[in-house]
Amino acid sequence: MAETIGIDDFLRVDIRAGRVVRAEPFPEARRPAIKLWIDFGPELGEKKTSAQITTHYTPETVIGRQVIAVTNFPPRQIGSFMSEVLVLGLSDSQGDIVLLGPDVPVPDGARMH
């Protein structure tokens, strides 16, 4: 069972929609991953991350896709790459990641309420 948190804790997490504008393979990663550059609109601009999403996605298929990410975690060094946001996803029945994203387009940078 998940730990219970208060609404104030939840509201401190900045979760936003962004559009993948660039993607590249990340062959140096320990587990197969894709480097992503995501546009979060004029307030946050472009941020980068890597995601272990290679089962369901290729760099070509994620470009233009809107994704959901936590934007206020501190940057994290992943090998030679600095990750600035955490893209959110769910595990499918095989344990492979499926990206979360809006089913209707929203403005890049839109914050989850």
Name the residue with tokens 């962004």: 18
Task: Report the CATH number of the 18-99 domain.
Answer: 2.40.50.140
Residue-level pLDDT at 2: 83
Domain map (residue ranges) of the chain: 18-99
Copy the structure tokens of residue 19: 């559009």
CA distances from 81 to 12, 106, 111 (A): 26, 28, 26
Query: What pLDDT, on the 0 to 100 scale, is given for residue 93?
Result: 98
The residue ranges of the chain whose pLDDT is under 70 are: none
First-to-last alpha carbon distance for the chain, in angstroms, is 24
Predicted local confidence at residue 110, as pLDDT: 98
* pLDDT score for 1: 80
